[in-house]
Amino acid sequence: MKILVVGKGGREHAILTAISESPSPTDLYSFPGSDAIFELAKPLATPERPVESVESLVSAMQAEGIDLCVAGEESYLVREEGLANACREAGIPCWGPPKESAQLEASKEFAKEFLVRHGIPTGGYDPVTTIDEARAAIGGSYPTVLKFDGLAAGKGVAVCPDETSAEAFLNEVLVERKFGPGRLLVEEFLEGPEISIFASIVDRDYQILAPARDYKRIFDGDEGPNTGGMGAVSSLEMLDEDLRRTIEDRIVRPTVEGLIADGLPYRGFLYFGLMLTKDGPKVIEYNCRFGDPEAEAVLPMVRGDFATYLFEAAKGDLNPELISFSEGWSICLVSASAGYPASSRSGDPITGLDQVAGARVFHAGTRRNAVGQYETAGGRVLVVTASGATRDAAVAKVYAESDKIEFPGRQRRSDIGTRNF
């Protein structure tokens, strides 16, 4: 079975690793990939066969006889050409939704309208286009949450404790147009612990996977600016039976029924970002893909035949019994480069990778230098994942293993797996 995974970060490295550990024989491909990913998977694009568009991506898949395309990141799904749409036309099973359905992630207003239309719990909101409308919608009530209505690499959201911070963000988005044209949502501030729920959705069927919690801020104690995520924790123990059932009954199933009612086809992972408020779980956002770094915590716990699971699911047949999740806790810890998240520094040599034992290392932003050594090449650089029977054991292990890896300017949180529990 020839499987292509689209993307180039730690999440895609984790997806490919999980597929490679399946008992079914697979031939793995990656686009655009990275040097570390190419240790597991062949590059789909070659100098003779460059890939510059969704169209050329699909042509390359056809030339190579790819049986299954797995979308790791959202960017190709939400484009005008839509990766899943193009795969469907070419007759290639795709794990990841068509662009119409991927609007659940690409447009925050689309997602809010969907949630409200289907009676799924979420915070109140007002879409606005001007600063005056925004100020009126905020109505002097803080904290308030401001969201640019489009893809902004995780940087289009501001939780504003006061007027000064709100005015600064409004100015960036509506005056300076930092993220380009687009509306802004003024959202009700929700309080409570957050949890990320992942489901595999195949038309009318769904399977809820192991939950996770990620750490978005750069510094310990959830301080500092938002990042793509500095670490994540996953365990089946994070949800008790009552809460699991509430999330399924009020959120997951109504979402699947809503997609059907709205004529939005869906085969792929759907990520529900939830706030566990005192009035019950509420949806903060949907993403039409696995989380990153949550994938690096969740997927190492998958047992069974993940390759066949994805292949059959992409063809319309969800077989929950093909996979299970191991007991215990899995924690992933991100090492980021100097300057992240405002910027990132590349070219710092990485040492100690070969010392890691009993933990996994996923590469988020590395490359091989002229002498074949890995060096930094991005904001989030490496993700180390370890498991343990208890959360404390997993924390101890992941820090011990991550300590073995070094590079100049490394940034790492010291409270991953302990804070928020």
Q: Is 12 a binder of ligand AMP (CB under 6 A)?
A: no
Closer Cβ to ligand AMP, 273 or 280, answer by number: 273
- Could you tell me the two tokens for 76? 């190709």
- Answer for which of 73, 149, 187, 294 binds ligand GLY (CB under 6 A) is 294
Instruction: Work out how close the CB of 309 gets to ligand GLY at its nearest, in angstroms, rounded to a whole number.
Output: 21
Closer Cβ to ligand GLY, 128 or 238, answer by number: 238
Pairing relationship of beta strands 374-377 and 366-368 according to DSSP bridges: antiparallel
Rounded to an integer, what is the distance from CA 280 to the centroid of its chain?
23
**Binding-site partner at residue 189 among ligand AMP, ligand GLY, none, CB < 5 to 8 Å by type:** ligand AMP
Contact present, 361 and 266 (Cβ < 8 Å): no
- Answer for which of 292, 296, 305, 401 binds ligand GLY (CB under 6 A) is 292
Rounded Cα–Cα distance for residues 122 and 182 (Å):
22
Rounded Cα–Cα distance for residues 255 and 262 (Å):
10
Segment interacting with ligand GLY (CB under 6 A) among 37-45, 95-103, 285-293, 323-331: 285-293
Pairing relationship of beta strands 380-388 and 360-363 according to DSSP bridges: antiparallel
Segment interacting with ligand AMP (CB under 6 A) among 45-53, 127-135, 187-195, 291-299: 187-195
Contact present, 356 and 404 (Cβ < 8 Å): yes
**Binding-site partner at residue 375 among ligand AMP, ligand GLY, none, CB < 5 to 8 Å by type:** none
* x-or-dash string of contact with ligand AMP, 138-167, rule CB under 6 A: -------x-x---------x-x--------
Instruction: Work out how close the CB of 145 gets to ligand AMP at its nearest, in angstroms, rounded to a whole number.
Output: 4
Stated length of the chain: 421
* x-or-dash string of contact with ligand GLY, 226-255, rule CB under 6 A: ---x--------------------------
Angle formed by the axes of helices 99-106 and 108-117, nearest 10°? 100
Total residues in contact with ligand GLY, by rule CB under 6 A:
6
Q: Is 292 a binder of ligand AMP (CB under 6 A)?
A: no
- Could you tell me the two tokens for 280? 């019950």
Instruction: Work out how close the CB of 224 gets to ligand GLY at its nearest, in angstroms, rounded to a whole number.
Output: 16
**Binding-site partner at residue 287 among ligand AMP, ligand GLY, none, CB < 5 to 8 Å by type:** ligand GLY
- Answer for which of 194, 248, 312, 403 binds ligand AMP (CB under 6 A) is 194
Instruction: Work out how close the CB of 11 gets to ligand GLY at its nearest, in angstroms, rounded to a whole number.
Output: 8
- Answer for which of 122, 227, 287, 330 binds ligand GLY (CB under 6 A) is 287
Instruction: Work out how close the CB of 104 gets to ligand GLY at its nearest, in angstroms, rounded to a whole number.
Output: 13
Rounded Cα–Cα distance for residues 164 and 159 (Å):
12
Q: Is 270 a binder of ligand AMP (CB under 6 A)?
A: no
Task: Please choose, from the candidates 382, 385, 406, 402, the residue with its C-alpha nearest in 3D space to the C-alpha of residue 394.
Answer: 385
Rounded Cα–Cα distance for residues 331 and 207 (Å):
22
- Answer for which of 105, 149, 187, 296 binds ligand AMP (CB under 6 A) is 187
| Residue 58 phi, psi (nearest 5) | -70, -35
CB-based contacts of 10, cutoff 8 Å, min separation 6: 292, 293, 295, 296, 334, 362, 363, 364, 380, 382, 383
Upstream peptide bond of 25 is cis (omega within 30 degrees of 0): no
Rounded Cα–Cα distance for residues 26 and 17 (Å):
11
Applying CB under 6 A, the residues found at the interface with ligand GLY are 214, 229, 287, 291-292, 294
Question: Which residues contact ligand AMP (rule: CB under 6 A)?
Answer: 123, 145, 147, 157, 159, 187-190, 194, 216, 273, 284-285
